[in-house]
A = this chain, B = another copy of it.
């Protein structure tokens, strides 16, 4: 646990099959007008919309409808939400959906009363809000991003040519989140397993970076083992409540600011994934899956000790009579087998990446000077080529 850090995560989590029963009571802590932000309408088909609306009605709220939040939420959509917040004097933004919807709610919250250009201030220059922000609540319907208990907000600006993340502080964390594992069961299998890899990627981005042998490493190994165990069950039987519940909890703790304490992170796989998402609009978790194996096989040599540990502690690779390189390589082979077993994309061409659009993707990759190795553009291109 190196360096000095502050941990403060005030988000209140209601977990379980009856979690939504707390919603109307929780809503009473906020003013009369609630903006209901959600995606393409699937929540209307599976009953979640009705349950949320009943709670809003029970709490006596005026509802401002804000549907149509897309999987990779755009800055244009954010500005539309800001207009609604100002026009209706919204007291709470209730995001019902996956990470995209919650990321979007944070972006709207911080931008609605921002006196400067929000894109420039927050996503380009990573500044902090100096304006009032609107409180956020969430009802999670898809696991993966961890947005339900953190300040992360990834927004796509097609005009600027970037998909960028901003991490806001605790004021922008959801005040409360409803986590009902059953709400995640209507997500199609492809989206479900993509979310599973998003979780694994959050864990790997934080594991393969910074100082080793800190408590965080052990926590991450525990979460990885839990994810591998439960994802195998869920991939076979998506209706297994216990498996889905464990995965939901793992996802929340994989990226709620706990694991970065005293350890740091890498986040280069996410940068490459964001660039693929910008160019192809592919599902976030699958973009990460498609480039992780070539990325980690490249940086393995720079953090060999940690890759050996990963092999032994997460995948039970026995080191007897093997070199460190062999143990580490075997660990990554186990990762690959698991990915294939649960149905993840391991080739970016399945997402629409071609030899021709690799230069455009490489141009959109933000190269971070952290982690075991700062990539060169040539290395980014090479990873993308190997991912095909």
Report A's interface with B, CB cutoff 8 A. 1-19, 22, 181, 211, 213-215, 217-223, 225-226, 229-230, 242, 245-246, 248-250, 253, 258, 261-262
Count of chain copies = 2
Whether A7 lies near B17 (C-beta < 8 A) is: no
Closest chain B CB from A12 CB (angstroms): 4
Whether A223 lies near B215 (C-beta < 8 A) is: yes
Write out the residue numbers on chain B whose beta carbons fall within 8 Å of the beta carbon of A3: 16
Write out the residue numbers on chain B whose beta carbons fall within 8 Å of the beta carbon of A13: 6-8
Q: With A1-B15, A4-B16 known to touch, is A215 a contact of B246 (CB < 8 Å)?
A: yes
Whether A12 lies near B8 (C-beta < 8 A) is: yes
Whether A1 lies near B249 (C-beta < 8 A) is: yes
Q: Complex formed: what's the CA distance from A248 to B248 in Å?
A: 28
Closest chain B CB from A303 CB (angstroms): 18
Whether A218 lies near B225 (C-beta < 8 A) is: yes
Whether A15 lies near B19 (C-beta < 8 A) is: no
Closest chain B CB from A349 CB (angstroms): 34
Whether B215 lies near A250 (C-beta < 8 A) is: yes
Closest chain B CB from A141 CB (angstroms): 17
Query: In the complex, what residue of chain B is closest to A3 when comparing beta carbons?
Result: B16
The 4 closest A-B pairs by CB, nearest first: A4-B16, A222-B222, A218-B222, A218-B226
Write out the residue numbers on chain B whose beta carbons fall within 8 Å of the beta carbon of A181: 1
Whether A246 lies near B214 (C-beta < 8 A) is: yes
Query: In the complex, what residue of chain B is closest to A318 when comparing beta carbons?
Result: B318
Closest chain B CB from A4 CB (angstroms): 3
Write out the residue numbers on chain B whose beta carbons fall within 8 Å of the beta carbon of A246: 1, 213-215
Write out the residue numbers on chain B whose beta carbons fall within 8 Å of the beta carbon of A221: 222, 225
Whether A1 lies near B262 (C-beta < 8 A) is: no
Write out the residue numbers on chain B whose beta carbons fall within 8 Å of the beta carbon of A220: 222
Write out the residue numbers on chain B whose beta carbons fall within 8 Å of the beta carbon of A249: 1, 214-215, 261-262
A-B CB contact pairs (8 Å), 10 listed: A1-B15, A1-B248, A4-B16, A6-B14, A7-B15, A213-B246, A214-B249, A215-B250, A219-B222, A221-B222
